[in-house]
Amino acid sequence: MKSCTATTTATSNPFLSFFVRAWNSGSCDYSLDTSRFLRDYAVWEINAFLWISLITITCLLTNKLFQLFKLWTQARKIPGPPCPSFYGHFNTVSKQSLTELLSDSHGDYGSVVKLWLGPTQLLVSIKEPELIKEMLLKAKDKLPLTGKAFRLAFGRSTLFASSFVKVEKRRESLASELNGRLIERANVIPTKAVDCIMEKLHHIMGKGSIDCKMVSQHMAFTLLGAMLFGDTFLAWSKATIYEELLMRIAKDACFWASYSVTPFWERGFWRYQRICTKLKCLTQDLVQQCSKNYKLYHGMDPVSDNETANAGMEATVGSKSYSGIFLQDFFSLEELNCHLKAREEPCGNIMGMMFHGCLTTAGLISNMLVRLVTHPETQHKIYSEIIMAQKGSGEIDQPNVEKMPLLLATVYESARLMPAGPLLQRCSLKHDLRLKSGVIIPAGAILVVPVQLVQMDDSSWGNDAAKFNPYRFLSTTEKTSGSLNKDISVAGPVELLDQGQSSFVLNDPNKNPAFLPFGSGTRACVCQKFVIQGIARLFASLLERYEVCPMNNFLVICRASFNFCYNQSSSEVIIR
């Protein structure tokens, strides 16, 4: 009776039935039952997998649909022009400049407006300076497209990821390095960089003409490379190839990053990857050259105690030789090995800095040259300021730009009139953004600041906002009969006064929330002071020996034995 019960129980369960019949090997139906069991088991597994997949996909789609309805609901509360079609304002943007469209929208709907770039892509533009300041403090992330472009080109990086959490620590250490010791050591670089730049441009012009963009690009590339890598970069034979590869990557980076799925099937993508690989190899070669020079320098004069070491370091800073100590301190070879363990591309941060720095610095240098040509009186005053500052310091090869407020103000004004890009982009990837004005911006929306509109707004900069006026960043300190000094803001262009009676004082441009060429808030450019000081020193060394002047629609950088010029209208460069 018990055996019959066991047999019945076993046959009611297909798994137990299979094992019972397998034990009874004498059964003639064993092979048939085995195949039937395996078939039923396979069908059961496939059905379970299909049901799980269906439930999972349904949940994902339901969540996406819920997020989409939530986005539409929250966006209805933000003012903005109505959508002309299901695809939003995409067709309008393709026919009209986005800056012009935002200008019209802000004029009609206020300081915060929305645009739909598609049924699921919301763009929110903010023009009010105080709201901009608040938004840039709260929106800490960058667009995923930006991080993807850097990742495809240079590998994983802790400086250019979209999420602020991933880049926060590295940005803090980089800001400390760039705005601290490196600025002090970079005093001797611009003079050498000017000589290298002019020699290189003269060599290129022997083969043919080059345009204005290439001139500014080469100046920015040489300046940034020299300040980061020192004399090793100026003497590096592969610098020209490095610059060409960097610009080719800049041309195609956003295009390949715009693919939702990495286009492995495209031949052009693999050509692009080969270019990136070549750039990585050259960067590693440059780092190794800097490391060798650093070890060679310290091997020549070893020191044993801290005082002697500090004295040697000070001597290195003050001397004319600069061997890339920055890399030894911040991007050391030991740290590069750690990057491999952390799945971070070696030298990825260095390539990203060169890439981003060259593009932004080149635009500022180009605008600075044009402003000096169109305002020769400002250039003459800057030249006088340079001469006076050097007489006071007694250091001919090391321009002290802190004593050149008009030069620094000219750099700031050039950056104000022609920012690196027309839009400052941010986003909040995970959380909704609530502004003090009551506007709630949903997570994932593209947040933009129309920098050109904000930095040329009459309400923030006065009636002459569209005009070049570096004196808006200056004030004068006049000596009165007593011992007190009086600060007077300079509202318009003024003549240089007697140094014994008055002197210029540079105002902090960042106190004006409408000054945004370097961004603001948590993701502001950490290299702002580094770039401003570098460009100011470059032009101090340049204007000391050369004059930038117009000549028959040509911009000319000239001296007694050498004339260099480019056509302002056709952007053609000519050596005379």
Q: How many helices (H) and strands (E) does the chain have?
A: 23, 13
The structure tokens 């101090």 sit at: 540
Tell me the two tokens of residue 1: 């009776």
Backbone angles phi, psi at 337, to 5 degrees: -65, -35
Distances 52 to 38, 41, 45, 56, 57 between C-alpha atoms, Å = 21, 16, 11, 6, 9
CA 222 to chain centre: 18
Rounded to 5°, the CA angle 152-155-161 comes to 85
Q: In this structure, are residues 200 and 218 in contact, taking their beta carbons and an 8 Å threshold? A: yes
265, amino acid identity:
W
Q: Which of 449, 461, 537, 438 is nearest to 226 (CA)?
A: 537
558 is in an annotated binding site: no
Pairwise CA distance, residues 392 & 350, whole Å: 37
Q: Which residue, 450, 386, 452, 382, is CA-closest to 411? A: 382
Which of 114, 171, 214 minimizes the C-alpha distance to 447?
A: 114
Distance CA 162, CA 145 (A): 8
| Residue 548 half-sphere exposure toward CB, CA atoms < 13 A | 27
Under a CB-based contact definition with an 8 Å cutoff, are residues 106 and 115 in contact?
no
Binding residues: 525
Binding residues for heme: 525
